[in-house]
Structure 1
Amino acid sequence: MDANKSRKLSLMLVLFIQVLAATLPGCFLGASQQLPIKKPEVQTMASHGHGFGSSLYFPVTGNVYPDGYFAVSFSIGNPQKPFPLDIDTGSDLAWVQCDAPCTGCTGCTVPPDQLYKPAQGSFVLCEDPLCPVIQSLGETTCKGPYEQCHFHRSYADGSSVRGVLVRDNFYLGIINGTPFQPSLTFGCASDIQHGRHGPPPTTGLLGLGKTAANIFSQLRVENVIGHCYSAKGGGFMFIRNDPVSSSKVSWVPMSQNTLAKHYASGPADLLFGGAPTSIKGLHVIFDSGTTFTYFNSAVYEAILNLLSKDLNGKQIRQVQDPDLPVCWNDGKPFRVLSDVKSYFKPFTLGFTRTRNAQLQLTLENYLIISEHGNACLGILDGTKERMGNINVIGDISMLDKLVIYDKEGKQIGWSSANCSRIPKS
């Protein structure tokens, strides 16, 4: 198996974001050609008559290994067509691989009949309030208010996506016996350039970042979203119209420093086997768009030293594996993580400004059993991946945890959970 295909870096790692005024080659219309487009009334959960003492739940597919992603499927358009989207709390824009008028789709990885086909009246104009929202620094390059709103994003792994904004109906379920199909803005991606981690594994991406561009922010709910990924694969995600309150949830405030644009918190100290370590004062980003967990080089090397010292003298040795950089074996193939429980200890992130807020990293939260029967470390060197000094809590460290992003309350929460079963609304 190609390791690069199973390891997904978040689309949080955007080098730059631009909204382009120039149209793509082909038949997208310029200002002088643009047909009138009726602005739809925004359909919110409140206007749909939903008091929302419950949540909307969506089943999730995928796994940390070997797939390397978790996805949710939404039906879009009329007639409805399902699109599996990679769930990414590290980016703010949803986009799908798109069969653009006359241009088709460059770099798309799905068959033509699975591409999104925008209707002529679905294109979003530069005058739309969401057009400047998706720009990185508020820069606007639209030539006029009636130009189509183009987007172009480049990412740290060398990949990029280009297209136009469109607006169409998303089928999100049944509320009070009525289909809930709000008209939402997302990206029609017709030019996709693949980076070193290979092509996207799904038909698109569901950006759930902190800006107003993400589709659930457009619903004008209380901005409470969450996910629960099972270590066995699959799980669920949800949105709520009211805050989550539970004594079982550990809450930490969202960072208001340089990481404020992400779902980040800190400082936190790292414990190993319940004992304090020299690794202290970490600020971390919670990112569902990243498969594994990444620490900067200094922290990563310190973690390797902790593991090396603890494993010294045990009947296990480090081996080479094509899937991940650091792996171990005791002379016979491992089949499940319980085979290595006598060798490894859990890690814990203790958040120092919140009493009893600890993120437990059991074996399943930092190790995988590879296809070659080795136990491999699911913690990687972020500095080598061009992530600088930031630390990212990826999918592996959030397995079997209900993780909640409460933008209204400016807090992140988590609790242990059975993620294999979707709760009743």
Structure 2
Amino acid sequence: MAAVWAPVVGHLLLLALLPSTSSSHMVFDLGGHVYRTGEFHVTLLIGDPAKPYFLHVDTASNLTSLDCNKGSKVPHPVYRPAPNKLVPRKHLLCNALHQDVGEPEKPHKTVCNYEIHYLDGSWSHGVLIHDKFTFPSGSTKPDIAFGCGYNQGGSHETVTGVDGMLGLGRGSIDLVSQLKNNKIITKNVFAHCLSSKGGGYLSIGDENVFSSPANWVPMAPSTDRNHNYYSPGPATLHLDTKPIGTTPMEVIFDSGSTYTHLPEGPHAQLVAALKASLSKSLKEVRDPSRLHPCWKGPGGFKSLDDLKKEFKSVMSLKFHSGATMIIPPEKYIIVTGYGNACFGMLGRTDIGDMCIIGDITMQDQLVIYDNEQGRLGWRSSQCDKKPKSKSATFSRI
């Protein structure tokens, strides 16, 4: 669940900035794909007059942000904040931000600057600002605090085609907390559904996500106050019935990562076990996607359905809470534009004993983040079909 001080402090901080509106919940269409775009994004209208921006849905970032570097190659004209949109260094919002992401190495004297380091190895430097957001109802235009990034890079995975990040992490000024504190939604609950066909949807404040059974686990407490990740706790990884590694890994749900990341040791063991399970009709090849390993079948691979003919092994994460996440081949293998099947789990030396679940493994699952009850849930779902709800406001941007 969000940091314990967030609901109280967030309410006091944001009441002056954000107008109160009638409560509702919202469902947004998502664009993008694991391959080739490498991201899933929502379109939000920001500013006055409102302008559209593509924001990469990121559950491991506490701060929504736009790329404000005038030299950046982004889909829309680069956002340029007016001077009166800058949050002062001594404002309580700035203190809350630094509680979420940590103090910058060199704090600015007058404006609220920040430095953020993400799970995938990327980083961003910027300043905190506020501006109007126009939501699907059209009548709801709250003033939302967000980041204006002027220097960023260093990513292990290159995400292009977006203007910034939609921060949905466990913070005090993440977007969902701000919406609840201003009574735009009644519950700090959201869910995303990423389709293997591309696109999907993001639901904010909708209690209808609880109407069907799901695998529920308690949110594990964060071990780092500056990185309040969504974690279902420790788990052991299996390939079919074979355990991979001997030490349980701390699992993180990170929709900001395209692929799933494993510590180098378990990753190497998993790759070896996977190779041993494959038929000799598959030939290991190099692919321009730079993923490794990759295989070419006798007739090539044209779709995810073709994977099932050659890849039979099912992975699973068995959580200490008793829940299990099933990971079939289509959630750990991608089919590239060159007709190859490539392993979509990356080995890392810099993540300790963490297992970072990225978009590839979240595909075709409704993943629910219930900050009210402090729990996470997931269930299989047709993510290319938006839910039907009489009370939801749908985005048609």
Q: Scaled by the length of structure 1, what TM-score is found?
A: 0.78
* CA–CA separation in structure 2 for the residues paired with 1:266 and 1:40: 34
Aligned partner of 1:393 in structure 2 is: 357
Structure 2 vs 1, CA of residues 138 and 222 (structure 1 numbering), >3 Å: closer, same or farther? farther
Q: Does 1:189 align with 2:189?
A: no
Give, as a single letter, the amino acid of the residue that structure 2 aligns with 1:187: G
Aligned partner of 1:15 in structure 2 is: none
The alpha carbon displacement at 1:361 in A equals 1.0
Aligned partner of 1:6 in structure 2 is: none
* CA–CA separation in structure 2 for the residues paired with 1:297 and 1:194: 20
Aligned partner of 1:14 in structure 2 is: none
Give, as a single letter, the amino acid of the residue that structure 2 aligns with 1:397: T
Is 157-166 or 250-259 further displaced after alignment? 157-166
Pick one of 95, 99, 111 that aligns with 1:132. Answer: 95
The alpha carbon displacement at 1:250 in A equals 0.8
Q: Does 1:329 align with 2:292?
A: no
Pick one of 312, 319, 325 that aligns with 2:285. Answer: 319
Deviations 1:229-259 (A, max 9, x none): 1000001111116585244211111112526
Pick one of 202, 210, 219 that aligns with 1:237. Answer: 202
Residue 244 of structure 2 contacts residue 270 of structure 2 at CA under 8 Å; is this kept in 1? no
Pick one of 381, 385, 388 that aligns with 1:421. Answer: 385
Structure 2 vs 1, CA of residues 421 and 209 (structure 1 numbering), >3 Å: closer, same or farther? same
Residue 189 of structure 2 contacts residue 204 of structure 2 at CA under 8 Å; is this kept in 1? yes
Alignment of 1:264-413 (within 5 A): 264-273=231-240, 275-279=241-245, 281-311=248-278, 313-323=279-289, 324-344=291-311, 345-354=313-322, 357-383=323-349, 386-413=350-377
The alpha carbon displacement at 1:342 in A equals 2.6
The alpha carbon displacement at 1:86 in A equals 0.9
Question: Which structure: larger Rg?
Answer: 1
Q: Does 1:163 align with 2:126?
A: yes
* CA–CA separation in structure 1 for the residues paired with 2:231 and 2:197: 26
* CA–CA separation in structure 2 for the residues paired with 1:156 and 1:352: 23
Aligned partner of 2:171 in structure 1 is: 211
* CA–CA separation in structure 2 for the residues paired with 1:267 and 1:154: 23
* CA–CA separation in structure 1 for the residues paired with 2:119 and 2:41: 21
Alignment of 1:32-181 (within 5 A): 41-43=16-18, 47-50=20-23, 52=24, 55-98=25-68, 105-110=69-74, 114-135=77-98, 136-137=101-102, 147-154=110-117, 159-174=122-137, 179-181=139-141
Deviations 1:351-378 (A, max 9, x none): 2323xx2212122210111111111110
Q: 1 or 2, which has the higher helix percentage? A: 2
**3-state SS of paired residue (2:361):** helix
The alpha carbon displacement at 1:399 in A equals 0.3
* CA–CA separation in structure 1 for the residues paired with 2:158 and 2:363: 24
Give, as a single letter, the amino acid of the residue that structure 1 aligns with 2:243: T
Structure 2 vs 1, CA of residues 278 and 122 (structure 1 numbering), >3 Å: closer, same or farther? closer
Residue 262 of structure 2 contacts residue 347 of structure 2 at CA under 8 Å; is this kept in 1? yes
* CA–CA separation in structure 2 for the residues paired with 1:412 and 1:59: 22
Give the fraction of aligned pairs with identical amino acids, expressed as a percent.
35
The alpha carbon displacement at 1:416 in A equals 0.7
Structure 2 vs 1, CA of residues 142 and 414 (structure 1 numbering), >3 Å: closer, same or farther? same
Structure 2 vs 1, CA of residues 89 and 151 (structure 1 numbering), >3 Å: closer, same or farther? same
Aligned partner of 1:255 in structure 2 is: 220
In the alignment of these two chains, the number of paired residues is 364
The alpha carbon displacement at 1:106 in A equals 4.8
Give, as a single letter, the amino acid of the residue that structure 1 aligns with 2:115: H
* CA–CA separation in structure 2 for the residues paired with 1:368 and 1:158: 22
Alignment of 1:10-29 (within 5 A): none
**3-state SS of paired residue (2:267):** helix
Residue 297 of structure 1 contacts residue 389 of structure 1 at CA under 8 Å; is this kept in 2? no
Q: Unaligned regions of 5+ residues in structure 2, if any?
A: 1-13, 393-397
Q: Unaligned regions of 5+ residues in structure 1, if any?
A: 1-38, 99-104
The alpha carbon displacement at 1:139 in A equals 7.2
